[in-house]
Structure 1
Amino acid sequence: MLRAGIVGLPNVGKSTLFNALVANAKADAANFPFCTIEPNVGVVAVPDERLEALAKISNSEQIVPTRVEFVDIAGLVKGASKGEGLGNQFLANIREVDAIVHVVRCFDDDDIIHVSGSVDPVRDIEVINLELALSDLAQVDRRMERTRKQARTSKDAQLELGALEKLSAGLNEGKSARQINLTEEEAESVTVLGLLSSKPIIYAANVSENDLASGNEWVEQVRQVASAENAQVVVVSAQVESELVELSQEERADFLESLGVKEGGLKSLISATYQLLGLRTFLTTGPKETRAWTIHTGMTAPQAAGTIHSDFERGFIRAETVAYNALVENGSMNAAKEKGLVRSEGKDYVVQEGDVMLFRFNV
């Protein structure tokens, strides 16, 4: 299961958002810096309305969604790359995740301390991104010293050195590693470094309940920063989400309607994170269960079968495949077959998002 790390300055709402994400998680959320020291981990179901529709068609006994893991990482501060505020420990936690959800404070509240004394999302983003880049730069420069010696006799080292020199130049210019153009081979040569600023990122603009429907000026500032990085922004209210957890479904709907929204942004954040991780979903359905399965983009039918059981991949014969929309529109697998919409796909077939699949295999 791939992991997304929730990061940001202290007191921006990270732990409150995390608690809402995992519903019954026990992450501390308090009004002082470094409340969270050890990272909290929670496994979250990815919302997928397709499962309900398929379950009705198959009269399934249960529904099993796919999941993604979120890690609540302590707040970073200026100087973290030099160890300020237990920065080395927190940066190491970020190194272990696959993607970053950067929570940015876009609300004003005199009762909640801001470490810099005022709300300024652009400044806050720059603080975090700079600390990640400085940590990467130190690591790149150390690696370059060793690689230069090896490059005298090794072509692989020469390739890596070229990538490191590009990274060093870009990081010194204030860019993140993900903004630096490397060839596929160059990127592969430095994968082992696990550079923090190379990780894909989503900005979660955390607003008050009054700004959830329309956003505010601070949200627009976050969008401008994200646009320059080709990153995504999700508007969410940790305050609203923390209240929704305590309500019934009917009460939730009424509360959100009173705010002029259909949701608090949490579903969008989970789905966007799932996509950011380069994940896709195929579906299986039957009387026992309807289930979503996670694969990486580009996986073939046998590889997808292997996510269910390794025997399915080893003994793969074919996959009976139908697009989700085609199946739902026709109401049953038999009706879809009669119209020629169910295909028999072989070992080279690349699984598409939303494929409903039945695997045939030899034991």
Structure 2
Amino acid sequence: MALKCGIVGLPNVGKSTLFNCLSSAKAQAANFPFCTIEPNVGVITVPDERLTKLAELVHPGRIVPATCEIVDIAGLVKGASKGEGLGNKFLGNIRETDAIIHVLRCFEDENITHVDGTIDPIRDKEIIDTELQLKDLETIESRLAKTEKAAAAGNKDAKIEATVLHAYKEVLEQGKNARIVEFESKDEQDCARNLFLLTSKPVLYVCNVGETDAKSGNAFTKKVEELAKEEGAETMVIAAKTEEDIAELESYEDKQMFLEELGLEESGVNRLIKKAYALLNLETFITAGEMEVKAWTYKKGWKAPQCAGVIHTDFEKGFIRAEVIKYDDYIQYGSEAAVREAGKLAVEGKEYVVQDGDIMHFRFNV
């Protein structure tokens, strides 16, 4: 399951610095706009302590964590929807992502210029929102005339699409994002998904702060949190420059010591990756054997055959049953054999809804 999150924001808010922390790929972090001209792409692992603990019991040949693709998209500016800066290209890059990580500058630093001269994350957020909304309106208006003509001629699919387009148009014209619109019928939901609107994607607002504000945030981050709460969006505070310093430390112990000095239990990068994963409504099931302990990504609510299909389509087609061990039971009893002996291995059929952390073995016949 290929997952892609796009990092967006105005120039000089710390996007590339954050990307550098997230990925082993090193984006150029320079104090001028458009230093990220091609979208930098990094494949990052989703932190999951459960894999390490299982590996200590199973002693596999390798550990394979879940992954997520992060795209560092160059700084958008006012007028991007009309092609200002390098707007059109960047907006196209956002369209290809599953979720948006929107970085907002919440730190003061006279050595790093701001394109609008002052620090105001709410204004910055609205600039980006407006550009994305204008681009979505353009997409909708270009489709409406043709769709309405087909709907008037009696085309059923066109009637559904016209309803969806009008619902989105109304919201976007009010300066709101498409993601607040909810559709009841599956046909409308499918149609909405296939429009790939920029503002329909789930968003995580990342408040980039200085080192001293890494734990508790500041007045800027509080404003962002209030606004995000109204939208029903997620926020988090991260000190990207400090995270970059932590990432350069060689040993795990040194990194932990640095975090403790800041009063943090876990690095901001780990928290961010986990939040991005959750933002897409994703969970993990695990396969554990001598060859490997591996995390597999699936959509929350999926049933056993769908999850089997993540490993191989034949597993889904010929699904017979799933043998399921709860993670806590595996850790408690120490091996699959001991779990079986304790009667804690469950045999589940096609209607079983897989739970995050389930350790699974699929039986199938093709």
Per the TM superposition, whether the score is higher than 0.5 is: yes
- Structure-1 separation of matches of 2:238 and 2:225: 13
1:116 and 2:119 matched: no
1:98 and 2:98 matched: yes
Identify the range of structure 1 (41-50 vs 343-352) with the bigger mean alpha-carbon deviation: 343-352
1:12 and 2:13 matched: yes
Q: What is the Cα deviation at residue 304 of structure 1? A: 1.7
- Structure-1 separation of matches of 2:209 and 2:52: 31
1:1-363 equivalences under 5 Å are 1-22=2-23, 24-152=24-152, 153-184=154-185, 185-248=187-250, 249-362=252-365
Q: What is the Cα deviation at residue 317 of structure 1? A: 2.1
Which amino acid letter does the alignment assign opposite residue 332 of structure 2? E
Which amino acid letter does the alignment assign opposite residue 225 of structure 2? R
Q: What is the Cα deviation at residue 211 of structure 1? A: 0.6
- Structure-2 separation of matches of 1:28 and 1:13: 11
Deviations 1:173-216 (A, max 9, x none): 11100012333432322333210000001011111111101211
Local SS of the residue matching 1:336: helix
- Structure-1 separation of matches of 2:170 and 2:318: 49
Contact in 2 for aligned 1:33/1:75 (Cα 8 Å): yes
Deviations 1:15-49 (A, max 9, x none): 11111101x21211110011111101110000001
- Structure-2 separation of matches of 1:163 and 1:304: 31
**5+ unaligned residues in a row in structure 1: which ranges?**
none
- Structure-1 separation of matches of 2:318 and 2:164: 41
- Structure-1 separation of matches of 2:317 and 2:163: 40
Deviations 1:112-153 (A, max 9, x none): 111110110111111111111111111112211111111112
Deviations 1:327-351 (A, max 9, x none): 2123222332233221111223221
Local SS of the residue matching 1:295: strand
Contact in 2 for aligned 1:206/1:235 (Cα 8 Å): yes
Contact in 2 for aligned 1:237/1:264 (Cα 8 Å): no
Distance change in 2, residues 1:157/1:311 (3 Å): closer
Work out the percentage of aligned pairs sharing the same amino acid. 53
Which amino acid letter does the alignment assign opposite residue 222 of structure 2? E
Deviations 1:233-282 (A, max 9, x none): 12111101111121022221222222222233111100111111222100
Identify the range of structure 1 (9-18 vs 187-196) with the bigger mean alpha-carbon deviation: 187-196
- Structure-1 separation of matches of 2:313 and 2:178: 36
Which amino acid letter does the alignment assign opposite residue 317 of structure 2? R
Local SS of the residue matching 1:193: coil
| Root-mean-square deviation (Å) | 1.4
Identify the range of structure 1 (278-287 vs 329-338) with the bigger mean alpha-carbon deviation: 329-338
- Structure-2 separation of matches of 1:354 and 1:264: 22
Q: TM-score, normalised by structure 2?
A: 0.95
- Structure-2 separation of matches of 1:140 and 1:315: 42
- Structure-2 separation of matches of 1:357 and 1:172: 48
Q: TM-score, normalised by structure 1?
A: 0.96
Local SS of the residue matching 2:145: helix
- Structure-1 separation of matches of 2:195 and 2:322: 38
- Structure-1 separation of matches of 2:179 and 2:361: 38
Local SS of the residue matching 1:68: strand
Q: What is the Cα deviation at residue 75 of structure 1? A: 0.5
Q: What is the Cα deviation at residue 289 of structure 1? A: 1.5
Instruction: Give structure 1 regions of 4+ aligned residues with deviation exceeding 6 angstroms.
Output: none
Which amino acid letter does the alignment assign opposite residue 333 of structure 1? E
Q: What is the Cα deviation at residue 159 of structure 1? A: 1.7
Contact in 2 for aligned 1:81/1:135 (Cα 8 Å): yes
- Structure-1 separation of matches of 2:332 and 2:290: 19
- Structure-1 separation of matches of 2:93 and 2:134: 16
